Amino acid sequence: MFLLSSIIFVIFFIPLAFASSQKGEEAYTRLMDGNRRFISGNISKKDLGELKRRELAKGQHPVAIVVTCSDSRVPPEIIFDQGLGELFVIRVAGNVVDPVALGSIEYAAEHLHVPLLIVLGHSNCGAVTAAVDAKGKTEGNIGAIVKKILPAVRKAEAKGGSREEIISRAIRENVLLVQEEIQQNSPVLKGLIERGALKLVGAVYDISSGAVEIIK
């Protein structure tokens, strides 16, 4: 009986996992194609009309979750050239996560079945810069953000270099640490990632060139 159950699980689970993984890859390709259009200035025409709004009022089916910074220069829908209802966005200074942000990601991944999660840092990040320049104990609500970023700063500082080099490296390290935190603090998301139902990607957006660079 156990063997039969295992066989049934394999028959049904493997195609399901493959399909989910494929959707994640398709969403990833879609967003990167959109970023290339944004860089070139060849932005696609968006449907922002009444019929589209009425359609979305019935429910949402975003193709990707983007965790990114609140910085006004980093609007995900624009830099990935996506329209209404296509991205589920969580924005907070320094693109850090807490239980509220994780709950938002879980909702999108588990209940809306979004197949792609991108953690997106960006160049010239004010929150990371503040963490690099922080002296002594950080206080208040802004201090709470800085505190979340400090481990990335310490890793960047350990490799030496100029202040600008440390800031640039810390931005990337922060993305990597947020990716780790997502998996460590959310069994739901970790399970989806391990099953191939959710593709997790780390990236950095260059606010000068407009390019999104994937962190391998």
Exposure of 110 in the CB half-sphere (CA atoms within 13 A): 13
Predicted TM-score (pTM) of this structure: 0.89
Angle at the Cα of 67 from the Cα atoms of 176 and 128, rounded to 5 degrees: 55
Closest CA to 67 of 108, 27, 24: 108
CA distances from 110 to 51, 79, 190, 202 (A): 28, 25, 11, 20
- The span from the CA of 185 to the CA of 180, in Å, is 9
One digit per residue, pLDDT tens: the chain, 216 residues? 545 445 444 454 555 555 667 899 999 999 999 999 999 999 999 999 999 999 999 999 999 999 999 999 999 999 999 999 999 999 999 999 999 999 999 999 999 999 999 999 999 999 999 999 998 777 889 999 999 999 999 999 999 999 999 999 999 999 999 999 999 999 999 999 999 999 999 999 999 999 999 998
